[in-house]
Amino acid sequence: MEDTEQRGAANGPLLEMRGISKRFPGVVALDDVNLSVSPREVVALVGENGAGKSTLMKILGGVYQPDAGEIWLNGEQTSIHGVSDAMRLGIAFIHQELNVLGNLDVAGNVFLGREPRTALGLVDRKRIHADARVHLRRLGVDVPTSTRLDRLPIAQQQLVEIAKALSLNARLIIMDEPTSSLTLPETDRLLSVVNDLRNQGVSVIYISHRLGELTQCADRVVVLRDGKNAGELAKNEIEHDRIVTLMVGREIKNFYVASRAARTPGFLKIRELRSSRYPGKCVSFDAAQGEILGVAGLVGAGRSEMAKVLVGLDPYGSAQVTLDGNALSIRTPDDAIENGIYLVPEDRRVEGLVVGMSVCENITLPRVSRFARFGLLQREAERRCADEQITTLNVRTPNREVLVANLSGGNQQKVVLGKWLAMNPRVMILDEPTRGIDVGAKAEIYRLMRGLAERGTVVIMISSDMEEVLHISDRVAVMHEGEITGLLERDDCSEENIMQLAVGRRVAVASTPERVTAE
Amino acid sequence: MKKEAGIAALLFVLCTVTAILNPKFLSPVNLTNMANVIGMFGIFSIGLGFVIISGGIDLSVGSMFALCGVLLAMALREWNWPWPLAALMVLLVPMGLGWIHGMLITRMGMQPFIVTLCGLLLYRGIARFVANDTTKGFGNAEGFETFANLARGKFLGLPMPFVLLIIISAVMWVVLHRSVYGRHLYAVGRNEEATRFSGINTRFVVTITYVLAGLLAGISGVLLAFYTNSVSPSTHGSFYELYGIAAAVLGGCSLRGGEGSILGVVIGTALLQVLQNLVNLLGIPSSLNFAVMGAVVLFGVLADQIVQRRTERRQLRSPAAAATKTE
């Protein structure tokens, strides 16, 4: 009995997820997805932003429950109801944002929440240090276990977290973008750790946007696209281009409406923009009056950081900005606003709106002082301005005094737009303008953006939604790790080209930023 | 508005009950005295209200009273300054200290609690050192009778602190509820980040609240010093910041920031003073003074929380419907 079970475990897959489906209000995140992992296998899971990788892994980690489908572990059907269930089953999750406590030492982190006790009920410090050392040695890490974690570089913190997984007897470790904040030597180190883990009998699900790494560590690549299985590549088939083909491979209908606006190329010139996130890299590009410039790239490419530098929200960033021939100095948000450069930020509820205030108060927030006489609000003028924006933007709200918190996402986003529209934008930067917004409101926001461009505003749209980028942009700049890897003219905008640039490859038809700088 | 109505009702009930149990409550002497203390406490509580609306806290007020009181008495009696100059000094000193608090908080990223806690210790110590730990008094106010009368006198039969409270709360009401600054202050208190993203100088907005709190503490400080007529630096004004914070919270300010009104703070102050008076008049042992106050603030805030939860729950049920309607 025991024998057969063990043999079953050795031959059959360690994990099988069968027919997993998950829907969220308005979206099908996963549709009948299958994933299997054998013992001692490293499976790479890839896909575009929003392809369903995270949802699938959260189901495996017990964060979400699937609406349909089965999970088999070691030949037994199981259900994972919470993070502690996943832990008990030997599944460990190394998140992109590490879950470590900087104020505890290495051993304290490894044994957090399950510290062995001495007879007196105190933490058995001798044991946790000795045990932590054993697990760290398995990973080839040689740091004193009494080091506070915030003294260690990210790469080592990550290894501590992997050691924690090992101390939990994890048989399957999920790594979500583990190399996104590592340097090149650190990445190589981590990849060899992954290989060591496999040799020690641990399976790994490895999520990464950096396709180059996959040839070094993956035994198999599983590609998801739009919440479905898009295909698999065996070890000898893993090639950059084949992965990209599987990731995109979808027909996108062309909704693009050519702009009727006259273009003034070089209206906005950005040179040597450096953000505090990527201080060693710089971004240069031009944008024309009357165009919508899409900015594509994968999560973490530095797009939002670039936008924040442009509107003076990054105190350590810098850029040379020329607008309509005038060199601008933008140090504070006020400088940007003074020059008509506005940002519709990524996180509506935190950065865009004061949700506890009314629609009217939010719309007029950036410019209440313009309505004021002797520092006192002219409420009549304020109300008129708010009502005007509510009507032009078609904000669906019972009246202007309703708290923004009570509006739907699409209408909240219109309020954010309303804050800036009446202030004659010259440059409007929209960061993920339609994230979490229903289709109807999306179309309205696209129309508004097009209208702005036609009235002579430079519209810069940062978006991770490939369809949106292709659908709206007159040109597309693609970013990868803090740099623009290429600028695509309208005719060259294809999902394939954008994806190649987004993962850091060169594309022949794309103009490179070097050329832009030289001009 | 509902919040203010709630504590106003509580205040009315307390007054009625006290008046019935002890008619002395309504005697002119008692009412005048109460108006006097409500005035003194109300003025600096409004300043604390501003700080709390910005999302901060100011614990240094009581020690500022000691420092201002000592400096005022010494300037008038020992250094023989002309009284307008002395008055100006005791307003500028706390404003300057408030400005320093604001700068440490907004520029250096320090926490308001820590900064003003250190202020509490520091200014008390300085006051005691400057006064050589001896009590300073105003005597018979020889040479600055006008000033003393201004602080202790009456206007239209009302004690001067009360008159000042009315004027100051009217001005501050306009500032908070009708000015650009007030709008920015509420926005900062609710969501500092979105406000900064809207191009508003949030550091300035926050710093000003501490300067205002300093100015109002200075005014209250002068009134209080003349009221007690002598300032013993180790106890003068001790714990008064907590009365102010309690009044602001009772009046509807949230320590999370972004909420509160002038009317609420004033009613909150009045409620606390009536409570003190009630303890005296009803023969409750005065050792229970703090306990009564603590219980009432706790009860008031708890009641408010319960009401709020109930409305939230009701809203949770309806916005689903409301959202589909507005979609």
Query: What is the domain extent for residue A408?
Result: 355-423
Cβ contact, residue pair A406, B327, below 8 Å? no
Q: Any chain A CB within 8 A of the CB of B200?
A: yes
What phi-psi label fits residue B200: left (phi over 0), alpha (psi between -120 and 50 degrees) or beta?
A: beta
CA–CA gap between residue A488 and residue A474 (Å, rounded): 9
Strands A283-289 and A326-328: unpaired
Q: How far is CA A402 from the centre of its chain?
A: 32
Q: Collapse the DSSP code of A325 into the 3-class scheme (helix H, G, I; strand E, B; otherwise coil) and give the result.
A: coil
Residue B325: predicted pLDDT: 35
**Confidence at residue A21, expressed as pLDDT on a 0 to 100 scale:** 93
Which amino acid belongs to residue B151? A
Taking the Cβ of residue B239 and every Cβ of chain A, the question of whether any pair is shorter than 8 Å is answered with no
In a domain, A348, yes or no: no
Determine, for residues B197 and A375 on separate chains, whether the beta-carbon distance falls below 8 Å: no
Judged by CB atoms closer than 8 Å, whether chains meet at A334 and B322 is answered as no
Candidates A421, A400, A369, A387; CA nearest to B183 is A369
Contact state of A376 with B326 under an 8 Å Cβ cutoff? no
φ, ψ of residue A38 to 5 degrees: the values are -85, 165
On chain A, the residues whose CB falls within 8 A of the CB of B196 are: 313, 333
* Residue finishing a domain among A248, A272, A287: A248
Q: Does residue A399 sit in the same domain as residue A415?
A: yes
pTM of the model: 0.79
Does residue A285 form part of some domain?
yes
Alpha-carbon separation of residue A157 from A93, A140, A153, B235, B256 (angstroms): 14, 13, 6, 52, 34
Whether the CB of B203 is below 8 Å from some CB of chain A: the reply is no
Residue-wise pLDDT tens digits, B186-203: 999 999 999 999 989 999
- The rounded radius of gyration (Å) of the Cα atoms in chain B is 21
Nearest by Cα to B185 from B212, B170, B206, B201: B206
Q: Choose the closest CB to B186 out of A336, A352, A357.
A: A357
CA distance A475 to A291: 8
| Contacts of B156 by beta carbon, 8 Å cutoff, 6+ apart | B163
| Residue A184, token pair as written in the block | 């090149």
Burial of B313 per CB tally in 10 Å (0-12, 13-18, 19+): exposed
- pLDDT at residue number B323: 40
Give the integer Cα–Cα distance in Å for A459 and A263: 12
Alpha-carbon gap, residue A115 to B253, rounded angstroms = 42
SS3 A43: strand
Per-residue pLDDT tens for A370-381? Answer: 888 888 888 888
φ, ψ for residue B125 (rounded to 5)?
A: -65, -45
Kindly state the percentage of chain B with pLDDT values over 70: 96
Collect all residues of chain B within an 8 Å Cβ-Cβ radius of residue A355: 190-191
Phi, psi for residue B108 in degrees, rounded to 5: -95, -5
Average pLDDT, chain A: 86
Residues A33, A70: one domain?
Answer: yes
Phi and psi at residue A343, to the nearest 5°: -125, 130
What would the pLDDT profile of B129-147 be if each residue is shown by its tens digit?
Answer: 999 989 998 888 777 888 8
At residue A115, the pLDDT reads: 85
Residues of B within 8 A of A357 (CB-CB) are 186-187, 190
E strand spans, chain B: 136-137, 154-155, 158-159, 230-231
B316 and A CB contact within 8 Å: no
Same domain, A149 and A283: no
Residues in chain A: 519
- Residue A82 pLDDT exceeds 70: yes
* A239: pLDDT strictly greater than 80: yes
Give, to the nearest 10 degrees, the angle between helix B240-250 and helix B289-326. 30
A353 chain-B contacts, CB cut-off 8 A: 191, 194
Residue A1 pLDDT > 50 = no
For B40-72, what is each residue's pLDDT tens digit? 999 999 999 999 999 999 999 999 999 999 999
Q: Please tell me the distance from the alpha carbon of residue A182 to that of residue A187, in angstroms, as a whole number.
A: 6
| Residues A505, A372 share a domain | no
pLDDT of residue A250: 54
> Helices in A339-407 by DSSP H: which ranges?
359-364, 368-371, 379-392
Q: What chain B residue is nearest to A438 in terms of C-alpha separation?
A: B327
Instruction: Round to whole Å and give the CA distance between A476 and A381.
Output: 40
> Do A413 and A439 reside in the same domain of the chain?
no
The residue of chain A with its CA nearest to that of B179 is A376
Does A204 lie in the same domain as A325?
A: no
SS (H, E, C) A453-491: HHCCCEEEEECCCHHHHHHHCCEEEEEECCEEEEEEEHH
Within 8 A of B195 by CB-CB distance, chain A residues are 354, 365
* Residues of chain A contacting B322 with CB distance shorter than 8 Å: 406
SS3 (DSSP) at A397: coil
* Angstroms from B189 CA to nearest CA on chain A: 10
Collapsed DSSP state (helix, strand, coil) of residue B33: helix
Of the candidates A106, A108, A129, A128, the residue with the CA atom closest to the CA atom of residue A117:
A128
Write the residue in B178, B193, B322 that is nearest to A350 by C-beta. Answer: B193
Contact A372 B196 (CB under 8 A): no
| A contact residues 375-394, partner B, Cβ 8 Å cutoff | 375-377
Pair (A110, A191) in one structural domain:
yes
CB B7 within 8 A of CB B267: yes
Q: State the Cα–Cα distance between residues B71 and B239, nearest whole angstrom.
A: 19
Query: Quick check: B154 contacting A, CB < 8 Å?
Result: no
At A6 the pLDDT is 42
Question: Quick one: closest CA in B to A405, which residue?
Answer: B319
C-alpha count within 13 angstroms, C-beta hemisphere, residue A233: 23
- With CA atoms as reference, the chain A residue closest to B185 would be A365
Assign A344 a pLDDT band (cuts: 50, 70, 90).
very high
**pLDDT score recorded for residue B315:** 63
- Chain B residues lying within 8 Å of A382, measured CB to CB: none
Domain's final residue, options A399, A423, A447: A423
Any B CB within 8 A of A366 CB: yes
| Crossing angle between the packed helical segments A154-167 and A184-199, to the nearest 10 degrees | 10
Phi, psi of A153, deg, nearest 5: -65, 160
* B201 touches A at CB < 8 Å: yes
Give per-residue pLDDT as tens, A89-109: 999 988 877 888 888 899 999
**Averaging pLDDT over each range in A6-15, A41-50, A152-161, B114-123, which range is the top one?**
B114-123
- pLDDT for residue A134 is more than 70: yes
State how far residue A67 is from chain B, nearest Cα, in angstroms: 22
Q: What is the pLDDT of residue B316?
A: 58
Q: Are residues A359 and A213 in the same domain?
A: no
Interface test with B, best of A344, A357, A396 (most B CBs within 10 A): A357
Closest CA to B230 of B80, B77, B83, B8: B77
Nearest alpha carbon to residue B190 among A364, A401, A357, A334: A357
Neighbours of A480 (CB within 10 A): 23
A86 and A60 Cβ atoms separated by less than 8 Å: yes
Q: Do A301 and A419 belong to one domain? A: no
| A284 falls within a domain | yes
Does B321 contact chain A (CB < 8 Å)?
A: no
A210 in a domain, yes or no?
yes
Q: What is the pLDDT of residue B320?
A: 41
Angle, alpha carbons A114-A120-A123 (nearest 5°)? 30
Q: Is A262 exposed, middle or buried (0-12, 13-18, 19+ CB in 10 A)?
A: exposed
Tell me, yes or no, whether A391 lies in a domain. Answer: yes
Structural domains of chain B, with CATH: 2-13+31-311 (1.10.3470)
- For residue range B93-128, what is the model confidence (pLDDT) as tens digits? 999 999 999 999 999 999 999 999 999 999 999 999
Examine the domain organization and report whether A311 and A401 are in the same domain.
no
**Average pLDDT for residues A161-166, to the nearest whole number?**
89
pLDDT per position as a tens digit, B151-180: 888 888 899 999 999 999 999 999 999 999
d(CA A215, CA A211): 8
> Residues near A64 by Cβ (< 8 Å), separated by ≥ 6?
A22, A55, A58
Confidence of residue B322 (pLDDT cuts 50, 70, 90): very low
Q: Indicate the helix (H) or strand (E) that contains A422.
A: none
Mean pLDDT of A42-62: 87
- Domain ends where: A423, A447, A476? A423
Instruction: Indicate the DSSP class of residue A351.
Output: I
* pLDDT score, position A2: 41
Whether residues B201 and A332 touch (CB distance < 8 A) is answered with: yes
Give chain A's domain count: 3
Question: CB count, 10 Å around CB of A403?
Answer: 16
Contacts of A440 in chain B (CB under 8 A): 327
A-interface mutation test, from B54, B171, B180, most A Cβ less than 10 A away: B180
The CATH code of the domain that includes A277 is 3.40.50.300
**Which pLDDT tens digit goes with each residue over A252-289?**
555 566 667 778 888 899 999 998 888 888 899 999 98
B259: nearest CA in chain A?
A356
pLDDT digit string, tens, across residues A435-458: 877 767 788 888 889 889 988 899
Between chain A and chain B, how many beta carbons pairs sit less than 8 Å apart? 82
CB crowding A418-445: b at 16 or more within 10 Å, else e: bbbbbeebbbbbbbbbbbebeeebbebb
Amino acid occupying residue A416: V
Same domain, A317 and A368: no
Nearest by CB: A397 against B195, B199, B326:
B326
Q: CB distance from A369 to chain B under 8 Å?
A: yes
Tell me what pLDDT residue A519 has.
38
**Minimum CA–CA partner of B175 in chain A:** A376
The closest alpha carbon to A102, from A152, A158, A176, A143, belongs to: A152
Residue A121 has pLDDT above 90, yes or no: no
Same domain assignment for residues A114 and A239: yes
Average pLDDT (A204-220) is 87
Which are the contacts of B106, defined by CB distance < 8 A and separation ≥ 6? Answer: B202, B203, B206, B207
- The 10s digit of each residue's pLDDT in A298-322 is 877 889 999 999 999 988 888 899 9
Name the residue of chain A whose CA is nearest to B325's CA.
A396
Please report the pLDDT score of residue A11 as a whole number. 65
Q: At B326, is the pLDDT very low, low, confident or very high (cuts 50, 70, 90)?
A: very low
pLDDT at A512 > cutoff 80: no
Question: How many angstroms separate the CA atoms of A504 and A484, rounded?
Answer: 9
